Amino acid sequence: MAKILLVIGDAAEVLDTFYPLHRLQEEGYEVHVAGPEVKLYHLVLHERPPGWDITEERPGYKLQSDIAFKNVHPADYAGLVISGGRAPEYLRYDADLLKLTRAFFESGKPVASVCHGIEIVAAAGGLEGGREATTVAKCALDVTTFGGRYVDQEVCVSGNLVTARTWHDNPAWMREFLKQLKAQ
């Protein structure tokens, strides 16, 4: 059974996290949840109420991680999934996470990122050279500032990178990521 690494932290978005977790398990993959340390993480719900310019954040479920970033051996995994929410805002500064994310890009293994997860991809250098990516519109600057080309569409496949805007795009996102995993 191939293993997939799922990156989270406190304030990771519930649907950005649980949808790929369950979808990949459904396909027979062993999913390891990774965070800065092994602990119970607090997820959040993000939704933009009518008339608001920004998302409202509410507490969501909790999820225990299996492994700390510093203990991950990228060679043990077939792919990487980076959840969205606010967690990537601080996780993008974690040197161990950036190192392992770079390893996935260097090896050509599939990397899936949704919403704010693009902040980690960008910080790790995964957008350099004009790679196309989609994300929530307010993170488009993260794509273009770090050498990528932003596209506003439900899912974008650019080499081994599969990106989606928000949890609304989860079915198309995981469909394309699974195609990449099965093609290995």
Active site residue ranges: 116
56, amino acid identity? E
Q: What residues pair up with 163 in beta bridges, in sequence order?
A: 113, 156
Q: What angle do CA 134, 139, 144 make, to 5 degrees?
A: 70
Q: What is the 3-state secondary structure (H, E, C) of the chain?
A: CCEEEEECCCCEEHHHHHHHHHHHHHCCCEEEEEECCCCEEEEEEEECCCCCCCCEEEEEEEEECCEEHHHCCHHHCCEEEECCECHHHHHCCCHHHHHHHHHHHHHCCCEEEEHHHHHHHHHCCCCCCCCEECCCHHHHHHHHHCCCEECCCCEEEECCEEEECCHHHHHHHHHHHHHHHHHC
